[in-house]
Amino acid sequence: MTRNILTILCILVLLSAAAAPASAGEEPVETSTFLSVTSPKQYDTIWSDLVPPEVTVTGRAEASNGIRDVVVESSAGTVSCGNATNFACTVPVAEGNETITVTLIDNLGKTTEAALRIYVNVDIPPPPRIYVIGTVRDTDGHPVPGATVRFESTLPLFGAPYPVTTETAGDGGYLIANAFGYGQNVSVEKDGYLPLHREISFENTTNRLDLELEPEPPQAQTAPGFSAWMGILALSGGLSAVRAGRRHKG
């Protein structure tokens, strides 16, 4: 009987030891979080024609203990983006310099923050800057080097059209960079060719436009050996002869 009691006590001691919590000397399990804001970028200029203005914040959040919430805060308000890995939500902002703070909160209450400084304009966003490459050739398909290519915006910038000018290279190629807006008045000029003028609406920020110049028609030629000055002298002589004949008759 005593032996059975001792056996039972030993089993209970072993079970208690197995169920006991880890000693204070053991290190806790590490937790990890990741937070990345993809839009807007740091120091971006934001255009919003809403009153009050708003900014859409997007990014990615990860937490080894799970995500409780992603919170976006500005000087004008705070919104919750939920607990999805990829988040996107719109927060009200103030005009001018603004700071947006994104906070990731995991299920254990651990937080990770990212702060963005932006500038907010309350207005209709301006048209984008566009790039155009191309080649200027004549009607026979030969490149035209040294031609002046000019792009002028159909929309005004600061109250006036915005021009960008370049010159074709030896192979007739050209590059227009940072033209203002999709609508452009395009002109090409080169001695010996008729000037080209076209109004074009581009659809992309990067475009290709090949252009063709027509040679000038041949100019009317004067008779060999007969210049304009000689014609004037001949006319003067004829008039003098007429006057002299009239005096003689008189």
Over residues 7-34, the mean pLDDT reads: 60
The answer to whether residue 5 sits within a structural domain is: no
Asked whether residue 95 falls in the same domain as residue 134, the answer is no
Percentage of the chain beyond pLDDT 90 is 66
* pLDDT over threshold 80, residue 106: yes
pLDDT > 70 fraction of the chain, expressed in percent and rounded: 76
Q: What is the pTM of this model?
A: 0.53
Higher pLDDT, 224 or 213: 213
Please check whether residues 35 and 111 belong to one and the same domain. Answer: yes
Residue 100 belongs to what domain range? 31-122
Task: Give the chain's mean pLDDT.
Answer: 84
Give how many domains the chain has, as a whole number: 2
195 within a domain of the structure (yes/no):
yes
> What pLDDT is stored for residue 17 in this prediction?
52
Mark which of 78, 101, 122 sits at the end of a domain: 122
- Per the domain annotation, does 247 fall within a domain? no
Give the whole-angstrom CA distance, residue 56 versus residue 91.
6
Q: Which pLDDT belongs to residue 226?
A: 45
Exposed e or buried b for every residue in 8-26, given b needs 16+ CB within 10 A? eeeeeeeeeeeeeeeeeee
Tell me the C-alpha distance between 74 and 188, whole Å. 50
Q: Does residue 92 lie in a domain region?
A: yes
Q: Do 87 and 154 sit in the same domain of this protein?
A: no
113-171 pLDDT tens trace: 999 999 999 987 888 899 999 999 999 999 999 999 999 999 887 778 899 999 999 99
The CA dihedral of 36, 42, 45, 47, to the nearest 10 degrees, is: 20
Q: What is the CATH number of the domain that holds 148?
A: 2.60.40.1120
Does residue 155 share a domain with residue 95? no
Q: N- to C-terminal Cα distance for the chain?
A: 177
Q: Write down the pLDDT at residue 155.
A: 85
Query: Based on the domain organization, do 90 and 167 belong to the same domain?
Result: no
Least confident residue range of 52-61, 152-161, 207-216, 223-232: 223-232
Q: How confident is the model at residue 219 (pLDDT cuts 50, 70, 90)?
A: confident
Q: Do 103 and 158 fall within a single domain?
A: no
| Calpha distance 176→164 (Å, rounded) | 7
Domain for residue 245, yes or no?
A: no
Give the helix, strand, coil percentages of the chain, each rounded to 5.
Answer: 15, 50, 35
Q: At 133, is the secondary structure helix, strand, or coil? A: strand
The per-residue pLDDT for range 54-94, each reduced to its tens digit, is 999 999 999 999 999 999 999 999 999 999 999 999 999 99
**Per-residue pLDDT band at 3 (split at 50, 70, 90):** low
Q: Which residues of 113-125 are buried (b: 16+ CB within 10 A; e: fewer)?
A: ebebebebebeee
- Here the CATH number for the domain that contains residue 71 is 2.60.40.10
**153 in the same domain as 71:** no
Query: Looking at the domain assignment, is residue 71 inside a domain?
Result: yes
Tokens of 72: 């976006």
